[in-house]
A and B are shown apart, each in its own frame.
Chain A
Amino acid sequence: MKPAPFEYIRAESVLQAQEWLAADPEARVIAGGQTLMPMLAMRLVRPTRVIDIAGIAGLDEIAVTAELVTFGAMVRQVTVERSAAVAQALPLLAKAIRYVGHPPTRRRGTIGGSVANADPAAEIALVAVTLGAEVLTTADGFSARDFFLAPMTTALPAGAMVTGLRFPRVTAARRGTGFAEVAMRQGDYAMAAAACELVLGAGGEVASLRIGIGGATPVPVLLDLAEPTREAIAAALAPLEMMHDPNAGAGYRRRAALALAMQALDEAQREVMA
């Protein structure tokens, strides 16, 4: 299981990477490589050139401001997992990141790589869609909802690359989050996953409720919800297309999505009450 031959080159700047990508449509970016390497080894992708962006200054930084949390594409998942600032500013991402693969893959895997790969079961993409994040690229910025088009397919224009992921920051005092997923084994691709952020107003009323579903659907989906009830979630799930594979059919995924959404919501509610 060895890759087909390619040329390995290191980009020193985003501009340089962008030029190389524009010059060669068969070139691929490697960030952490945790998904690209198996695809190379199985010869499912056969790039002419592999452009390493790990050496680009600044791409591995996390910037937290009053309104925004911005991750460079090369921020390792483990950095997110260990970041006190992320835990404080984006508790939902901090929870979800622990479900991404296994500890060794999180040490190499990156935020940008996960986003660009667009696996339907990816937790980072699910949180991005749930919280209304913006995918930063060398072309335009995309709202996460518009970026993921289909399994392993994004709106990224040819020749462009993902440079980061930017989340709006909620500073409300009364916020609860929840994350739940089911996989064949812990750490496997989720058959269904749910992420929830619940914000209460000063009077205890629901100021904002976001529940996103991943794993079950071809791309992560932010549910359109009027109220935090099982009926409302079920109704929001009803029109969604569910995936199926030898492990789990669409019916299971739909039921699991509902159950997990309820779990995530329950966790968020308990947290906000605490």
Chain B
Amino acid sequence: MTVQLQPPFRYVGHKRRVREDRRFVAGGGHFAADLVLAGMLHCAPVQSEHPAARIVGIDASAALALPGVHAVLTGAQLAAASEPLMNGANTPLVVRYPLAVGQVRYAGEWVAMVVAESRALAEDARELVRVEYEQLPFVTDGEAAIATDAPLVHPPHGSNVLLDRRFVWGPVAERFAAAPRKLAYRVRWARSSTVPLETFAVTAQWDASQDVLDVWASIQMPKFPDQIARSLRLPGNAVRVHYDVDVGGSYGVKRGIKHAVLVGHLARVLGRPVRLVEDRLENMTGGDMQGPERVFDVELAYDDDGRVHAMKMRALDNVGAYAGRSPFQLGKPIGAIVGPYAIEAVEYHALAVASNKTPQEAVRGFGQAPTNYALETGIDQVAAALGLDRLEVRRRNFIRADQFPYLIPSGTTYDSGNYHGLLEKTVAVADLFAERDALRAQGLLAGVGIAACLEPSGGNSSFEPLLNPANRTTTWMESCRLHVDGLGGITAAMHTTTSGQAHETLVSVAVAEVLEIPPERIRVIRPDSLASLPSNSPVGSRMAIMLGGAAVRAAQKLRAQLLAIAAHDLGVSPLELRYSEGDVHAADGRKLTWQELVVIAHREYFRLPLGMEPGLSASSIYMVPTGGALPKDDKVQMYPCHSFEFHYILVAMDRVLCRPQIRRYIIGHDCGQVISPDVVKGMTLGGIAHGIGAALLEEFSIDAQTGQPTAASFMDYLLPSAHEVPHVEIVHQTTPSPLTVFGQKGSGESGYLGSPAAIAGAINDALAPHGVRVDQLPMRPALLSDLLEGTHT
């Protein structure tokens, strides 16, 4: 059980510079592509031009004849030397290797890898690789893919359905039968992604005298070294992943396992360091980093007061050509399937479907943002059907502050919350409805958008056994190790990569709080995987809770050790001692300073308690609070903590041009006790911007006739610029979690979880007086204008 530290805090929650920023701002980050090794070779993939085709033959002779070209690796060659990549779903016949074997399944799939002295030369050579294809029928639409006569993406699997699970939690049929009102609707979430500005990059080097594969990769991937080792048939301790690489953005997608296996294999067989840095086109088509693409069919049973009693939701996700972990993105939202609402019964049908598209990867929120969009659309529709204020309908459905801890039908207990409180604080900032009406009076279309949603945080693996009983993973630990050197300096180790979340700052503040020593005096390092304790990487909005928890636990152990040394040396009970800013004080005025304690621990063994190991170090491998049980009766505690965000926005647009402009963006945010205010603010603003992209601009569109991607560069996949992101007004509320060391909750996904829903709601409010609505993303100007014109087909 976690003993919670209580405010007031010395360092936690105070404005403080983010330590990582000092190196980044001077160009001193160490990104994967910055590494230069002697003799390093460079890769360029040969990509499939067809969405589905049999590979008849690959002729690399002309490419290999080019001076400076070292290898052209084919899928068949790699498959013979490696194990398939891991599957999340229970689909053993959906086999995936880093390069296509025998058949290509999406346009852009990597068919062969050219290795040469320079990247430019590798690109020259790949143009000379001749691949003979025999084209096959293909399917790119998720709903078309489940038709009985659809072309099969993986014929041995016998179907395009990779996951098909139905859950019924609570008296769904009874609630629907008893409800005076029902409504049904469909919403579509288009395929977008996080699209970090750094593409995926990995360099590997095989040390033949030590039998170790060194890997430097731009990753955010749980169990990355294990997966490489398994696939390359190496012992786990023969893969050394260097976690001190700075990752240039991820937000979920930097999994890179296929890249690392590929490059690891090449480094071994070629005996030279090998680097693969995707260019943007390779990244967008064959980097396997696209996000969820969903069709939701939802039914709500509600009453005349607008209270929603039950929901049926079917989520069909087009996961693309291979499964990976993506089907799990349908599972994680189960932990907040009712959002902030007291919905009593839920039926949920999760359907992951394969198609001839780029495989899907984890995206910020792991499926939660699309689910929130579906749910919030329904709440707005209930209000519209009853002619009620949308804020009022939310007030009536919110779980009340006095109901926490609150068990939702699918088995998760929400830790704490005050949804009504934050709603009222947020709407008190401005009367956006009055501002909307003023804009309408000027002849503009204008609408208010509202979204209330949760950020489940503290990432745990419960969705894995819930969706795939063959998978019994229930431990998703995080770790920290502290070491005090002989001169009294403190070094804290974390054991994963970091991609902009300021984890080093987090560790330093957490340790500083316990040891009462300024964070600036604590060095934070990221050793390689062979020198690391177990970690599950910064996924699932978990690090404030998990790494923060591990750091506090380790610091508490260290502090206890200091007290034990002092108690022995002073001949008193530890209970009679007071720890203050590194020094230990006895009641009688005697004290041992930090430096004296360090000297005792490192040099004066005769002063240590009998049997105590010399030196000063402590570590913690911290388990997710509440985590660890297998699912029971299709229910499970998903994540432990639940942050809350309330979006309240105003959008205006011209009647004809229909380019939505966000005039006001107000967000109420409650992630419990904030540790680093600037970091949380940045996460929230960045998440909102990401959601603006998903709502208005971003789509990995595809030509249905040809199966070819039509958004394969930054010219046609449109990330929001500074022009598209408005000034955001943030309203804070702090409802501590009872489960965590400081009362903190997660914030790594904040903003993104509700902004698409809020923008969609605002646009529909703007359209409503004109009798049209839109339930698909992204909401492009032409789509809106065509709807208003009655010409949309």
Q: Do chains A and B touch in the complex (CB under 8 A)?
A: yes
Q: Which A225-264 residues have a C-beta within 8 angstroms of B?
A: 246-249, 251-252, 255-256, 258-260
Tell me whether B786 and A252 are in contact (CB under 8 A).
yes
Interface centre among B119, B279, B657 (most CB of A within 10 A): B657
Tell me whether A2 and B782 are in contact (CB under 8 A).
no
Q: Which of chain B's residues has its CB closest to A189's CB?
A: B715
Q: Which of B127, B280, B718, B786 contacts A251 (CB 8 A)?
A: B786
Tell me whether B782 and A247 are in contact (CB under 8 A).
yes
B724 at the binding interface (Cβ < 8 Å): yes
B281 at the binding interface (Cβ < 8 Å): yes
Tell me whether B780 and A248 are in contact (CB under 8 A).
yes
CB distance from A103 to the nearest CB of B (A): 11
A1 at the binding interface (Cβ < 8 Å): yes
Known interface pairs A2-B119, A191-B782, A259-B656; A251-B724 also in contact (CB < 8 Å): no
Tell me whether A188 and B718 are in contact (CB under 8 A).
yes
- What separation, in Å, do the CA atoms of A256 and B780 have in the docked complex? 14
Tell me whether A4 and B124 are in contact (CB under 8 A).
yes
Tell me whether B119 and A259 are in contact (CB under 8 A).
no
Q: Which of A4, A182, A186 contacts B723 (CB 8 A)?
A: A186
- What separation, in Å, do the CA atoms of A42 and B127 have in the docked complex? 12
Tell me whether A259 and B786 are in contact (CB under 8 A).
no
- What separation, in Å, do the CA atoms of A166 and B120 have in the docked complex? 40
CB distance from A255 to the nearest CB of B (A): 5
Tell me whether B721 and A186 are in contact (CB under 8 A).
yes
Q: Report the interface size class on chain A.
A: 20 to 34
Q: Which of chain A's residues has its CB closest to B119's CB?
A: A2
A-B contact count (CB 8 A): 66
Chain B positions within 8 Å of A252 at CB level: 781-782, 785-786
Tell me whether B781 and A5 are in contact (CB under 8 A).
no
- What separation, in Å, do the CA atoms of A251 and B785 have in the docked complex? 9
Tell me whether A184 and B781 are in contact (CB under 8 A).
yes
* Dominant secondary structure at the A interface: loop
Tell me whether B791 and A251 are in contact (CB under 8 A).
yes
Tell me whether B119 and A187 are in contact (CB under 8 A).
no
- What separation, in Å, do the CA atoms of A13 and B218 have in the docked complex? 48
Q: Which of chain A's residues has its CB closest to B118's CB?
A: A2
Q: Which of A2, A5, A182, A249 contacts B659 (CB 8 A)?
A: A182
B468 at the binding interface (Cβ < 8 Å): no
- What separation, in Å, do the CA atoms of A34 and B491 have in the docked complex? 48
Please encode chain B, from 747 to 788, with 1 for each CB lying within 8 Å of some chain A CB and 0 for all others. 000000000000000000000000000000000111001100
Chain A positions within 8 Å of B782 at CB level: 191, 247-249, 252
Known interface pairs A184-B718, A186-B724, A259-B657; A1-B780 also in contact (CB < 8 Å): no
Interface centre among A3, A38, A249, A258 (most CB of B within 10 A): A249
CB distance from A267 to the nearest CB of B (A): 15
Chain A positions within 8 Å of B389 at CB level: none
Known contacts A5-B120, A255-B656; can you find 15 more A-B pairs with CB under 8 A?
A182-B657, A182-B659, A184-B697, A184-B780, A184-B781, A185-B721, A185-B723, A191-B781, A246-B710, A251-B786, A251-B791, A252-B786, A256-B656, A258-B656, A260-B657
23 contacts between A and B (CB under 8 A): A1-B123, A1-B279, A2-B123, A38-B715, A42-B713, A43-B123, A43-B127, A182-B657, A185-B723, A186-B724, A188-B718, A191-B782, A246-B710, A246-B716, A251-B786, A251-B789, A252-B781, A252-B786, A256-B657, A256-B785, A258-B656, A259-B656, A259-B657
